């Protein structure tokens, strides 16, 4: 869809509302539960592992690594 399409503003508004709702839900409901369940030390370890793996992570959903990981997840 092009930005000049008459539906562009409406669809963009809905998208923004959906993303905002999702972010609020994560921050207000999910994150507190995860913090309580895992604790500070385990969260820190997970964060360190994510930072270490970041350099090798796919950069786009169509990257060969991303496609392989998606296929592996579905067929596992």
Q: Dump pLDDT digits (tens) for 11-58.
A: 999 999 999 999 999 999 999 999 999 999 999 999 999 999 998 887
pLDDT tens profile 35-48: 999 999 999 999 99
Residue 43 lies in a domain: yes
The pLDDT value recorded for residue 68 is: 83
Considering the domain boundaries, does residue 63 fall inside one?
yes
| CA–CA distance, 10 with 15 (Å, rounded to integer) | 9
Q: How many domains does the chain have?
A: 1
Task: Please report whether residue 2 resides in a domain.
Answer: no
Distance CA 76, CA 21 (A): 32
Domain membership of residue 1 (yes or no) is no
Q: Is pTM beyond 0.85 here? A: no
Is 29 inside a domain boundary?
yes
Instruction: Please check whether residue 3 lies inside any domain of the structure.
Output: no
pLDDT at 57: 81
């Amino acid at each position: 869809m092009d930005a000049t399409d008459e539906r562009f503003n409406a669809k963009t508004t809905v998208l923004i509302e959906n993303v905002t709702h999702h972010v609020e839900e994560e921050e207000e409901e999910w994150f507190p539960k995860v913090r309580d369940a895992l604790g500070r030390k385990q969260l820190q370890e997970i964060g360190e592992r994510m930072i270490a793996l970041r350099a090798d992570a796919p950069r786009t959903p169509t990257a060969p690594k991303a496609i392989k990981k998606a296929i592996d997840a579905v067929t596992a």
